[in-house]
């Protein structure tokens, strides 16, 4: 077997006019080797001749099973065909055969028209963020990319719950200034599963007059614009950065996005900020009435005057204990109302299992507790506030238990008394 270096040298020497006989003598190879090197236009490659192996007898049966079930695991295939040899060797051979029977799923090149679509996704930065209780945790970042202009907006959110996803989407659409005609999502649990949207998603898109499209499984190309941005964030935004809170992350991310949206995107050969106006012009306007987003709950306030929202407890004015209160929250604020009157307001805490207390509520509870434990004493009959019943008899002209009608003439029931 001639080496690649000798093959190249032989062809170069002959091309320079050196006789083949001399080339063979100088390199110490046979003339037939020189002839084969000149006749071959491909690099020399050692190919071991195929010989029967222990798998050869099982290959036809394995192929038949793969035709019907291309994704059948190798261990199941080995059991079906009665294989008793090395499972590693069997897996290697199945791995070689499987591509011949795997169905092909081609993807088309997509063209994104102005205003047509925006792709939405959750990006999980590989850096834990400090929270209010001192703990550090990984938090999702909701990202929306306008498909035509490639303009990006994003914000960190506390959970993947539907309420937080819709709140984050509404906030980012306000930053975008318009509403794309389609919002493209994958099968995120908070957006929907199967054929159904999650509760609240339909009302949200109806208010915006847009359409939310959830992609089928195994269709990453249809959301590839935003997926590629996630990798871009990790390689261009994250390196060398530290964050003290979610708010600090959002501030740094917003500044970086301003610069990133002003850079030329290779695939469209333009800057997203330059294409944004044309993209927005074809989008829908923001609705005159904002959509109902965030957490909404109605509960009867218990004796401990706290309400729970996303694993955290928030204090409420104890004056409404035993009554129904309406709890609402967005990404940053928690409000509690009773019959429309605000009875509690707190900054939303992103940590888990926290108790958030307003000192004014504790002071009000102390006063109410003292009033309950020390009720007002009953009135004293000798305090001068009670009148003698005889006073009422004289006021109505009644004497001696009603026997005397006229005290002036001494008659009783119209008869004279001797």
Q: Nearest 5°: phi and psi at 354?
A: -100, 155
The span from the CA of 184 to the CA of 126, in Å, is 24
Q: Where are the domains of the chain?
A: 4-39, 59-100, 117-281, 295-373, 378-418
Structure tokens belonging to residue 385: 């506030």
User: Where is 255: in which H helix or E strand?
Assistant: helix 246-260
CATH architecture of 117-281: 2-Layer Sandwich (3.30)
- pLDDT tens string, the chain, 418 residues long: the values are 678 788 888 888 888 888 988 888 888 888 888 888 888 877 777 677 778 889 999 999 999 999 999 999 999 999 999 999 999 999 999 999 999 988 876 666 778 899 999 999 999 999 999 999 889 999 999 999 999 999 999 999 999 999 999 999 999 999 999 999 999 998 899 999 888 899 999 999 999 999 999 988 777 677 888 889 999 999 999 999 999 999 999 999 999 999 999 999 998 999 999 999 999 999 999 999 999 999 999 999 999 999 999 999 999 999 999 999 999 999 999 999 999 999 999 999 999 999 999 999 999 999 999 998 887 776 665 555 556 667 767 777 765 555 555 544 554 444 444 4
Q: Note if the pTM is more than 0.75.
A: no
Q: Nearest 5°: phi and psi at 73?
A: -60, 150
183: closest CA among 140, 221, 226, 217? Answer: 226
307: closest CA among 289, 320, 294, 288? Answer: 320
């Amino acid at each position: 077997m001639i080496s690649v270096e000798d093959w190249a040298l032989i062809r170069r020497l002959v091309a320079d006019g050196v006789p083949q006989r001399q080339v063979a003598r100088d390199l110490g190879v046979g003339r037939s080797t020189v002839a084969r090197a000149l006749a071959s236009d491909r690099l020399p490659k050692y190919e071991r001749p195929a010989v029967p192996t222990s798998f050869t007898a099982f290959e036809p049966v394995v192929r038949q099973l793969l035709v019907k079930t291309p994704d059948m695991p190798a261990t199941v295939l080995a059991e079906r065909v009665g294989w008793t040899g090395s499972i590693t060797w069997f897996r290697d051979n199945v791995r070689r055969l499987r591509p011949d029977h795997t169905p092909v799923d081609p993807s088309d090149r997509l063209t994104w028209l102005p205003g047509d679509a925006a792709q939405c996704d959750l990006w999980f930065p590989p850096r834990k963020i400090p929270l209010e209780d001192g703990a550090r945790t990984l938090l999702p970042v909701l990202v929306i990319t306008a498909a035509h202009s490639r303009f990006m907006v994003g914000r960190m959110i506390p959970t993947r719950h539907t309420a937080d996803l819709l709140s984050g989407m509404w906030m980012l659409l306000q930053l975008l200034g318009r509403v794309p005609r389609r919002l493209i999502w994958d099968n995120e649990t908070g957006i929907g599963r199967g054929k159904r949207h999650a509760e609240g998603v339909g009302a949200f898109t109806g208010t915006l007059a847009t359409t939310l499209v959830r992609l089928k499984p195994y269709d990453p190309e249809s959301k590839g614009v935003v997926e590629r941005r996630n990798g871009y964030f990790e390689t261009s935004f994250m390196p060398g950065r530290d964050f003290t809170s979610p708010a600090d992350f959002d501030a740094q991310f917003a500044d970086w996005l301003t610069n990133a949206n002003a850079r030329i995107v290779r695939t469209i050969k333009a800057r997203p900020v330059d294409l944004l106006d044309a993209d927005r012009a074809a989008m829908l306007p923001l609705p005159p009435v904002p959509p109902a987003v965030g957490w909404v709950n109605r509960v009867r306030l218990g004796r401990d005057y706290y309400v729970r929202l996303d694993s955290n407890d928030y204090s409420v004015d104890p004056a409404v204990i035993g009554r129904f209160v309406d709890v609402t929250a967005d990404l940053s604020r928690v409000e509690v109302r009773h019959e429309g009157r605000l009875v509690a307001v707190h900054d939303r805490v992103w940590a888990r299992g926290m108790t958030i207390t307003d000192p004014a509520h504790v002071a009000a509870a102390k006063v109410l507790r003292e009033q309950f434990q020390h009720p007002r004493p009953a009135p004293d009959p000798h305090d001068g506030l009670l009148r003698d019943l005889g006073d009422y008899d004289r006021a109505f002209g009644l004497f001696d238990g009603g026997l005397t009608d006229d005290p002036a003439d001494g008659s009783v029931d119209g008869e004279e008394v001797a």
